[in-house]
Amino acid sequence: MRVLAAMSGGVDSAVAAARAVEAGHDVTGVHLALSAKPGTLRTGSRGCCTVEDSRDARRAADILGIPFYVWDFAERFTEEVVETFVGEYAAGRTPNPCVTCNEKIKFEALLEKAIALGFDAVCTGHYARLSVSDGVPELRRSADDHKDQSYVLASLTPEQLRHAMFPLGDSRKPDVREEAAERGLAVAEKPDSHDICFIPDGDTKKFLENRLGERPGDLVDAETGAVLGKHTGVHGFTVGQRKGLGIDAPAADGKPRYVLSLEPVSGTVKVGSSEELAVSTIDADRAIWPSEQPLSGPTECVVQVRAHGGMAPAVAEADGDAVRMSLREPLTGVAPGQVAVLYRPDAEAGDVVLGSAKIAATA
């Protein structure tokens, strides 16, 4: 196959590309420049599309002996990922930009370009197991529980998955680092990336304030309706948040208060106790079925509502594009805008992704 390896400059995508080469594919490396004004050197907790990352990717490609190019996707990334991220927060939702990037950039804009240019697949360093039999993809959790990225890939369509390649799915991160060192890849010791790549200092609140300005509103007790304080914008809050609410007086019952809901039009942020935060029903829409099998009738599954943690057994039922999940154990911090991913547990070969959908409402 002709394979386009997306190379971020990190260890995972470098080893993934190396494995694609070793499997006999005709591999070309591409580094996506996603930042309109790339910093000259890595800054903050994460380097993303800096000059240094681009150079690291280039050096890895040199070692692998594959052609390498840098493609400018900064405009498309700004439009599809950054502006969506800001817009979602402004609308009182909590987006996951990595999901959007996989869905719209790596496996849409990049994949479409790759296919048009004669490639058969896009290869990345994601930790998830992907197999395709008789043209039907099956996406499972990674062999490395800590690194599993099936959650951020579960929004890919079957057609996208048919052209995806995740050579690290069966591996554990320490083994990948060791392999990188054995292959002479200088990125073997490069630190893992964290946080959101386009907010290198990790200060999401400041980032949003710079773009959205102040949109003052009230902090309201969900039970009594009493105004507890003022805030500078709903985009500063996420459902389930406890810290930084800016309420001086303690609750009457002395218990900590959490953000329960965000109402962008009125600017109201409702807060209440952790009991009120617990949800037992999740309604989601924009369902995607990676293996082209929509749920038929009520289905026992495990639901995951954010990239790390937030899992509960549930019964899910689909109605066209919409999915209702009745949780067998309540979950807290379930934020509209996040993705709910449905898994069929399989301890042996990795939980199977049944589908995913975007959380619209909770009860």
Catalytic residues: 101, 197
CA 68 – CA 21 distance, rounded (Å) = 13
Interaction of residue 90 with other proteins, rule CB under 8 A: no
Asked if 143 and 169 touch (Cβ cutoff 8 Å), the reply is yes
Candidate list 22, 62, 75, 203; residue touching other proteins; CB under 8 A: 75
Q: Which of 44, 58, 211, 267 binds other proteins (CB under 8 A)?
A: 58
Tell me whether residue 40 or residue 133 sits nearer to other proteins (CB atom).
Answer: 40
Tally Cβ neighbours within 10 Å of residue 351. 23
**Contacting residue, 22, 62, 112, 189, with other proteins by CB under 8 A:** 112
Considering the complex, state which of residue 52 and residue 175 has its C-beta at the smaller distance from other proteins.
52
Q: According to the binding rule CB under 8 A, does residue 67 interact with other proteins?
A: yes
Residue 231 β-bridge partners: 217
Picking from 20, 14, 9, the residue whose alpha carbon sits closest to that of residue 120 is: 20
Candidate residues 79, 195, 209, 263; the one interacting with other proteins per rule CB under 8 A: 79
Question: For residues 106 and 114, is the Cβ–Cβ distance under 8 A?
Answer: no
Shortest Cβ 285–other proteins spacing (Å): 23
Q: Which stretch binds other proteins (CB under 8 A): 64-72, 276-284, 312-320, 339-347?
A: 64-72
> Per-residue x/- marks for other proteins, 159-198, CB under 8 A?
----------------------------------------
Taking the complex as a whole, how short is the minimal distance between the CB of residue 79 and other proteins, in angstroms? Answer: 5
Shortest Å, Cβ 360 to other proteins: 25
When binding is defined by CB under 8 A, the residue of 51, 188, 212, 315 that contacts other proteins is: 51
Q: How far is the CB of 38 from other proteins (least distance, A)?
A: 5
Secondary structure of residue 191 in the 3-state scheme: coil
85, 78 contact by CB (below 8 A): no
Q: Is 113 in the site for other proteins (CB under 8 A)?
A: yes
Among candidates 275, 266, 300, 285, which has minimal Cα distance to 361?
A: 285
The Cα–Cα gap between 131 and 153 comes to 14
Buried b / exposed e over 8-35, threshold 16 CB at 10 Å, is bbbbbbbbbbbbbbeeebebbbbbbbbb
Out of 49, 86, 197, 339, point to the residue binding other proteins (CB under 8 A): 49
Kindly tell me which of 75 and 192 has the beta carbon lying closer to other proteins: 75
Neighbours of 266 (CB within 10 A): 10
Asked if 38 is part of the footprint of other proteins (rule: CB under 8 A), the reply reads yes
* Euclidean distance between the first and the last CA atom of the chain, given in angstroms as a whole number: 48
**Residue 5 CB, nearest approach to other proteins (Å):** 13
Interface with other proteins by CB under 8 A: which range of 28-36, 163-171, 189-197, 333-341?
28-36
Residue 54 interacting with other proteins (CB under 8 A): yes
**Residues numbered 134-153 forming contacts with other proteins, rule: CB under 8 A:** none
Task: Let me know: does 16 contact 135? Beta carbons within 8 Å.
Answer: no
Name the CA dihedral angle for 48, 54, 59, 60, rounded to a multiple of 10 degrees: 50
Q: Per-residue x/- marks for other proteins, 296-315, CB under 8 A? A: --------------------
| Residue 325 CB coordination number (10 Å) | 28
**Dihedral over alpha carbons 297, 323, 169, 145 (to 10 degrees):** -100
69 binds other proteins, rule: CB under 8 A: yes
Residues that bind other proteins (CB under 8 A): 28, 31, 33, 38, 40, 49-51, 54-55, 58, 67, 69-76, 78-79, 109-110, 112-113, 116-118
